[in-house]
Amino acid sequence: MTMKPKYKTKQREILLSYLKQTPGKHITAGDVCEYFKEQGTPIGQATVYRQLESLVDEGLVNKYSIDANSPACFEFMGEETHEGKEVCFHAKCEECGKLIHLHCEEILHIRDHLFADHGFMLDSKRTVFYGICEECRAAKA
């Protein structure tokens, strides 16, 4: 993971800048294909999937699986927080899709626990806490 891309292609550039322009939105691979087709600069779907996977590996983009049986969502994560910097975990509401950033000590404690007691080195970039947020719970009641 966190391997740099070898080439800098046009498709990669416009795909990444598209994701940058839509912060906090749920973009699926299908959305990307559709968007660029409408723009008159279509990208092959295989390329879209392969580039998205690369971007996720590089840590620039996060991948979300809200529902087991609906397409995965992608979201630009920003470029600063790649290396070691402050760790940030994310919680995603399965209902409204809201992304909550977690910086608290309790989360860090879990990471240490997994490492100390389970020998498991947690990857904060890929791990997402799924659940229902406060607003959606209130709305359901």
Partner DNA sequence: TTGCGTGCAAAGGTTTTGCATGGCA
Partner DNA sequence: TGCCATGCAAAACCTTTGCACGCAA
Which parts of this chain interact with a copy of itself (CB under 8 A)? 1, 65, 67-69, 72, 91, 93-94, 100, 102, 104, 106-107, 109-110, 113-114, 117-123, 126-134, 137
Three-point CA angle 90, 52, 41, nearest 5°: 130
Cα separation, 105 vs 2, whole angstroms: 25
Ranges within 28-87 binding DNA (CB under 7 A):
28-30, 42-47, 49-51, 53, 68-72
H or E, element range at 89: strand 89-93
Q: Please give the Cα distance from 62 to 100 (Å, whole number).
A: 13
**Residue 100 Cβ vs DNA, minimum distance, rounded to whole Å:** 21
Interface residues with DNA (CB under 7 A) are: 5-12, 28-30, 42-47, 49-51, 53, 68-72
